[in-house]
Amino acid sequence: MTTSIAGGSSNLHYRLSFCQAKGCGQTSRISSLTFNGCLRNDISWSDGLSKLLKFQRHKFSRSTISKSWKPLGTRKVSVSSCLRDSTVKYFDFAVIGSGVAGLRYALEVAKYGTVAIITKAEPHESNTNYAQGAYLCDEETVRVVCTEGPDRIRELIAMGAMFDHGEDGNLHLAREGGHSHHRIVHAADMTGREIERALLEAVVNDPNISVFEHHFAIDLLTSQDGPDMVCHGVDTLNTETQQVVRFISKVTLLASGGAGHIYPSTTNPQVATGDGMAMAHRAQAVISNMEFVQFHPTALADEGLPIKPIIARENAFLITEAVRGDGGILYNLDWERFMPLYDERAELAPRDVVARSIDDQLKKRCEKYVLLDISHKAREKILSHFPNIAAECLHYGLDITRQPIPVVPAAHYMCGGVRAGLQGETNVQGLYVAGEVACTGLHGANRLASNSLLEALVFARRAVQPSIDHMKSSSLDLSASNWWARPVVPHSLGSNVMDDVLRKTGGSEERVAGNHVEVCRDRAVNNEAGNCGGRNQRVRGPVGEVLVRERMGADNGGA
């Protein structure tokens, strides 16, 4: 159920009470502001209150405020609200997600107004932090990213991001599967982590940005304005206090990441459950290409490690494609190199080709993993280029400078998502998208290696100016928190809300139509998998159901 109201001819009546501050010669300082409502709740307010009191988008009755009134810093405001056990927060911009797209956008729009970054875990827990390393693409989108990408990289460097440099002092460029040239800027095998570090450091030091950790986005707040759907913010659940927190904003950026955990095996962090896509779908945003799920060919196969993990991983450990770009070779368990049999580019073929080839080997040979060997390279080079991978494998008794790495495909990236224009705009006014949650047309059906971070940076930046324009032409209604019914939080979730939500989403009772959404969609191959216990990847949850409908051809409206 989407959280929405019908707009248009409604009349909202309210009362403003201005209390002159002691020692102030005129009513230029507001010490309290009261609205008719159900219950008073305290909220914090920042500069720009005068602008927020104007109503422009709907035909509501207005109350005028003297143009001579000027806001003078942070105020304490009381607002009546029917949300009896929750708080209401007002910002110019609400950003849902703390990956590269959300953080980069927040840093730009914070120059023009107040920003709330809403993240379901901690800010560093995003797909960006886990990033190590084209078909049906939209040509204009590709041209935009290729043209503007270098400037976005330079901006990161200016902000303090530290990338690897070669002996000549220039940026060291890596090559990965599907690439015809060395073109990938990187920080060893932890590029995403380094970008996230630089962005978070800048966000923490920005006084206009507030970060709300452990806030689980529930639903977008929308209203109907004639033929248009308008977004006014988001309802969230503070998973530490179990308190519903409502964010009212002029502009909302959805940067909530992907949906890898609709699959039982994925390289994505546990927070990648597709909430943003589901919320946008309920808010009537157009969803496109959800059937295009990319499987990374080489996730660490725990079954092949000398020492097995005692506790099952929340997400598969990614073995970056740069290992193959640096000369890594794939073998089956009989030490037979197989990639030349499938593609003349061998290990440097695009991800979909390599993933399907590995999948075919596993099913034909009834094996659970293949081997990725980089041990023929110099030890010093391996350790300098892949320190994170080397350390992780060594923890489980495997020395990648001497032994092959057991690998298997795992769900990695959602190429589809909320349809976005070239400015990150959606068909819902006031709602913008960037990052993996968006479908910009850059990736088509198969993302080229290492393009996700670049796309997020480019489209987060492109969404800034239209967001500012929308913010300046829009207004916040201080009584808006009463427009929507209060979300109901199931009591059965208990105290550990986050874990319970993910556990319930992942239950076997919610897995659907697995044969339609695994690595390969060929029915004969799928049936063959059943003969030797193959690795079917069954999806789960509401986002998984949308994905299945698109793959089965039942939902053609958004593709």
Please give the positions annotated as active site: 351
Selection from 169, 174, 198 nearest residue 457 by Cα: 198
| Contact criterion met (CB below 8 Å) for 341 and 153 | no
Name, in order, each residue with C-beta under 8 angstroms of 124's C-beta and a sequence gap of 6 or more.
98, 196, 200
Amino acid at 126: S
| Contact criterion met (CB below 8 Å) for 251 and 90 | no
Amino acid at 437: V
CA distance 444 to 228: 28
CA distance 28 to 111: 24
Name, in order, each residue with C-beta under 8 angstroms of 67's C-beta and a sequence gap of 6 or more.
none
Task: Give strand ranges (E) for 339-381.
Answer: 370-373
**Would you tell me how many other CB atoms lie within 10 Å of the CB of residue 531?**
9
| Contact criterion met (CB below 8 Å) for 5 and 230 | no
Residue 554 has which token pair?
A: 């039942």
CA distances from 412 to 13, 148, 268 (A): 50, 25, 6
Handedness of CA 187, 192, 198, 201 (dihedral sign): negative
Q: Name the burial class of residue 382, with classes exposed (0-12), middle (13-18) and buried (19+) by CB atoms within 10 angstroms of its CB.
A: buried
| Contact criterion met (CB below 8 Å) for 406 and 371 | yes
CA distance 407 to 321: 12
DSSP annotation of 131 reads -
- DSSP secondary structure string, 136-182? S--HHHHHHHHHHHHHHHHHHHHTT----B-TTSSBPEE--TT-SS-
DSSP annotation of 111 reads T
| Contact criterion met (CB below 8 Å) for 105 and 199 | no
CA distance 210 to 95: 10
Q: Name the burial class of residue 291, with classes exposed (0-12), middle (13-18) and buried (19+) by CB atoms within 10 angstroms of its CB.
A: buried
Place of tokens 């969230």: 236
CA distance 94 to 490: 25
Selection from 407, 413, 410 nearest residue 451 by Cα: 413
**Would you tell me how many other CB atoms lie within 10 Å of the CB of residue 36?**
11
- Beta strands at 209-212 and 115-118: parallel, antiparallel or unpaired: parallel
CA distance 337 to 365: 14
